[in-house]
Amino acid sequence: MNFYTKQHQFYCGIDLHARLLAVCILDQAGNIVCQTKIAADKQILLDTLAPYRVDVVVCVECLFAWYWVGDLCKENGIPFVLGHALYMRAIHGGKTKDDDIDAEKIGRLLRGGNIPTAYVYPKGMRETRDLLRRRNHLVRKRAQLIAHIQITNAQYNLPPFPKKLIYAHNRAEMQVAQRFPEGPVRKSIEVNLAVVDALDVQLADLELYLERTVKVENPQSYHVLQTIPGVGKILALILLYEIHTIRRFATAGDFLSYARLVRCVHKSAGKTLGHGGKKIGNAHLKWAFSEAVCLLVRCCPTVKIWQQRHEKKHGKKKTLGILAARLGRAVYHMLRRGQAFDLQKFLGQ
């Protein structure tokens, strides 16, 4: 957990909403010099900060609407701090809660150097990362539609599909909708198929756009990530844009913690009380490394042998977790050094 500890003359805490901002500005002594609610408008926010622009820092929680505030502060040379929402909730909890109280607490935490900070992903690559996340959302929706077709097929006790439905030519060859009885059931399947076909077109165009974009923004790291056996274009894109720059992690341990690849032990008085913090970190990176490890085991017989040997001691689930943490550490050093994947170093041989 990192904290913002720089000193300023004024500290501005903002309780951020989609259409409303609760603003509280404190001076160095902790006195409230401004407390107001304003519309979520760029010019109004700048006018509110104008009397304190000589030395003011702005802080908001890491919620969905922080992008425009962060970009506005950067354009106008105002220091900006993004607070980690989960950590902040644990620190400034209280009996009473409203917008003004939240804004004041954010300002006081900022003044006292107790704001746990989140990473401010820079404008430019941030939009590509969000587009990539949207692509993953559409892929999951497409999978749900195909799964619904298969469930409906079993529901009416029809013969199993001889070929996979994920391929458009297989769906056209098998005439999927014709095997269902006429009426609402067939109409439901036809709607599913139409949406799947439309998603196929959009996803192909989207993936082409992402590949062209990454070759302009960071082609070297993109190529390095693809040297991992089993990691293709999409997984390399996810790893690259969720990490952004490996230099923001001081150690490999910090990176593994961010990627949810290590267990957080709770201890007290020399006793282990359990584990926690499973939801702190990047869920997209956790998923990407889990997928990458399964593909690595499938592609490399040497890794498969290593997995089978360690499964006898740790079990399958824990062994895959160990491999994911190893792969995370390998990716950390690969990106820092600009080196390709080395299987012997990965297995410790």
- Of the three residues 53, 82, 116, the one that is the final residue of a domain is 116
Same domain, 184 and 289: no
User: Does residue 130 share a domain with residue 205?
Assistant: yes
Note whether residue 181 is domain-resident.
yes
Residue 117 DSSP one-character state: B
The total number of structural domains that make up the chain:
3
Any domain includes 228: no
Flag whether 70 is in a domain: yes
Q: Are residues 7 and 96 in the same domain?
A: yes
Judgement on whether residues 143 and 77 belong to the same structural domain of the protein: no
What average pLDDT does this structure show over 197-205?
A: 96
CB distance 79 to 65 below 8 Å: no
Confidence label for 349 from pLDDT (cuts 50, 70 and 90): low
pLDDT for 11-66, tens place per residue?
999 999 999 999 999 999 999 999 999 999 999 999 999 999 999 999 999 988 99
Burial of 110 (0-12, 13-18, 19+ CB in 10 A): buried
For residue 272, the SS3 value is strand
| Token output for 67 | 């992008």
Q: Are residues 53 and 147 in the same domain?
A: no
Using an 8 Å Cβ cutoff, are 23 and 4 in contact?
A: no
For residue 20, the cross-strand partners are 39
Given 164, 185, 217, the domain boundary residue is 217
Q: Which of 87, 116, 145 is the last residue of a domain?
A: 116
Model pLDDT, residue 266: 74
- pLDDT, one tens digit per residue, over 91-108 is 666 677 788 888 999 999
CA 51 from centroid of its chain's CA atoms: 37
For residue 90, what pLDDT is reported? 64
pTM of the model: 0.87
* pLDDT of amino acid 268: 75
Q: Are residues 157 and 194 in the same domain?
A: yes
Residues 343 and 238 reside in one and the same domain: yes
Q: Which token pair is 210? A: 């992402």
Does residue 156 sit in the same domain as residue 262? no
Instruction: Indicate which CATH number applies to the domain containing 103.
Output: 3.30.420.10
Whether residue 337 sits in one domain with residue 272: yes
In a domain, residue 103? The reply is yes
Q: Which amino acid type is present at position 283?
A: A
**Residue-level pLDDT at 1:** 74
Angle between helices 233-243 and 283-299 (to 10 degrees): 150
52 plus 145 within the same structural domain: no
Please name which of 209, 231, 208, 207 lies closest in space to residue 221, comparing C-alpha atoms. Answer: 231
Residue 288 lies in a domain: yes
In a domain, 269, yes or no: yes
* 318 shares a domain with 252: yes
- Residue 222 located in a structural domain: no
Per-residue confidence (pLDDT) for residue 150, from 0 to 100: 95
Neighbours of 300 (CB within 10 A): 18
255, 200: one domain:
no
Q: What is the mean pLDDT of the chain?
A: 91
Is 230 within 8 Å of 255 (Cβ atoms)? no
Range of the domain at 27: 3-116
- Asked whether residue 136 is assigned to any structural domain, the reply reads yes
pLDDT at residue 309 tops 70: yes
